Structure 1
Amino acid sequence: MANSVSDSSPVPIRVAVAGASGRMGRMLIEAIRDSDDCVLAGALDVSVSPGIGSDATAFLGYASGVPITADLDLGLATADVLIDFTRPEGTLAHLKACARHGVQAVVGTTGFSDAQKAEIAGHAERIAIVMAPNMSVGVNVTLKLLDMAARALSTGYDIEVIEAHHRHKVDAPSGTALKMGEVLANALGRDLKGCAVYAREGVTGERDPSSIGFATIRGGDIVGDHTVLFAGTGERIEITHKSASRTTYAQGSLRAVRFLRGRTAGMFDMFDVLGLR
């Protein structure tokens, strides 16, 4: 009689995706399909989306049996983790439902107010949340480099953050650019709210050496370019990250999903996920 061998493979992580009909939602669904340890368990979208009721993987040419729904309770019923790259109001509603169902969350949404961030922190007392304005592994390594550079170039260098995105992006500066500004300001012992300059026009006077400037470009199909310029006397240092595909965001999101396995509460970011603390 043959010996039976038990399957010791870990149970797949059941992942729900918000904004399932959108470009980022579809990229996430495809990444989940291609992963070895995750499975699609839910697909959410707004009630007016033309994708409502259709199979979430129909665009890939096969049926997953997971319909796109606006019913949060239905979409989260069997999920372990929700990935959300939508809008602030939608994300807050999703997190409220996640807290009710005990579903962890990975949040890549940007544009939250301070009050909304405080509300998210409240949800993190009940569920585990990874929240970052950019889930790209490369971007988060860039943030670490910026922290190091700002500390070394704390005097004698003017700092400017330049970002470019596609014409459809609705917030400016980008969440990633603002995160870069926060990292720079913290490294320099400054408050970004007090030193950020978001617009220049007319006779502005000489540049305040303690300021951090931001420039925003919108056009075409640019996925996301970010450059931080340290301009000194006689030299310039530029640290740049360019995204050619949203695939980097999807893969980083799945790393965050794996990080949440076994965690039940707390607020985390990609530095925690990547061990960059």
Structure 2
Amino acid sequence: MGDPVRFLIHGASGRMGQALLRLCAGGAVDCSVVAAVSRKPAQRVVDGVPQFAASELAGVPPFDVAIDFSLPEGFDPLLALCRQRGAALVSGTTGLSDAQRQALAEAAADIPVLWAANFSLGVAVLEELVERAAAALAGWDCDIVETHHVHKQDAPSGTALALGAAAKRGGGMPRYASLRAGDIVGEHLVQLTGTGERVELVHRATSRDVFARGALHAASRLRGRPPGAWRLRDLL
């Protein structure tokens, strides 16, 4: 076996950042967290992991892959640092501007990058199934129903839109419906309906850890890959 992958966790104080740190400490993948970056860390070292403020980003130790679940305002400095150091970037930060998405695309000429709205490995497989089903069932109605907890603001969800894009690649014309109820982590139903029959493709997440595990899976497999814009399903 090779050396453990060296991770930089960007957005370490957030819900996803905390999950990533917990799973890394528990041995979810063969890795070493060399730095955890947040706006204003309360301590310099937590559980053996050095803590850095966002303003100190340039001083972090060498790393192989940055895993980013932060805010758009912190994205540009991290992308620039990854390009400067030749490190890979895995990001799930939402709300990126068109200019930031363009910068990410340009960075793919120099480093391996992966951005995804959802890091569930099951959803990555579901996207492929939806595209294939839509292509095979031309002319069928395509409806996507997504259900999340009551605190989720955006609708349709980013995952629903990604599934819709997969359906469009297969020739489908997706319609969307959104439900907000209780504390549901996330459910997505893609329904393809023809005359007298219906196909349903469903994914249900029961723990938010699935997203952190997927990000770690992707990051551990992105080290050493050639530059390019990678997809989660490329790394399954």
Do both share a fold (TM > 0.5)? yes
Does structure 2 retain, via aligned residues, the 8 Å contact 1:53–1:68?
Answer: no
Q: 1:266 aligns with which of 199, 209, 228?
A: 228
Distance 2:154 2:71 in 1: 10
Residue-pair matches, total? 234
**RMSD of the alignment, in Å?**
2.1
Q: What residue identity is the alignment partner of 1:18? A: H
Does structure 1 retain, via aligned residues, the 8 Å contact 2:14–2:70?
Answer: no
Q: What residue identity is the alignment partner of 1:213? A: R
Distance 2:164 2:96 in 1: 16
Q: Equivalent residue of 1:17, what SS? A: strand
Once the two structures are superposed, residues 30-82 of structure 1 have per-residue CA deviations (whole angstroms, 9 ceiling, x without a partner) of: 121123510111111224xxxx132564xxxxx214224222213x4322111
Which residue does 2:93 correspond to in 1?
109
Which residue does 2:42 correspond to in 1?
53
Matched, 1:21 2:10: no
Matched, 1:229 2:156: no
Q: Structure 1 165/86 Cα, relative in aligned 2: closer, same or farther at 3 Å?
A: farther
Distance 1:56 1:233 in 2: 62
Which residue does 2:83 correspond to in 1?
99
Structure 1 residue 214, shift from structure 2 partner: 1.3
Q: 1 or 2, which has the higher strand percentage? A: 2
Which residue does 1:41 correspond to in 2?
34
Q: Equivalent residue of 1:105, what SS? A: strand
Structure with higher Rg: it is 1
Which residue does 2:58 correspond to in 1?
73
What TM-score do you get using the length of structure 1 for normalisation?
A: 0.77
Which residue does 1:193 correspond to in 2?
none
Structure 1 residue 172, shift from structure 2 partner: 2.8
Question: Following TM superposition, where does structure 1 have runs of at least 4 consecutive aligned residues deviating by more than 6 angstroms?
Answer: none
Does structure 2 retain, via aligned residues, the 8 Å contact 1:16–1:40?
Answer: yes
Q: 1:33-182 to 2 correspondence within 5 Å?
A: 33-35=25-27, 36-47=29-40, 52-54=41-43, 57=46, 63-70=47-54, 71-74=56-59, 76-155=60-139, 157-182=140-165
Q: Structure 1 171/257 Cα, relative in aligned 2: closer, same or farther at 3 Å?
A: same
Structure 1 alignment gaps of length 5 or more: 1-8, 58-62, 191-210
What TM-score do you get using the length of structure 2 for normalisation?
A: 0.89
Structure 2 alignment gaps of length 5 or more: none
Q: Equivalent residue of 1:67, what SS? A: strand
Does structure 1 retain, via aligned residues, the 8 Å contact 2:36–2:49?
Answer: no
Q: Structure 1 127/162 Cα, relative in aligned 2: closer, same or farther at 3 Å?
A: same
Q: Equivalent residue of 2:42, what SS? A: coil
Q: Structure 1 171/18 Cα, relative in aligned 2: closer, same or farther at 3 Å?
A: farther
Distance 1:171 1:73 in 2: 33
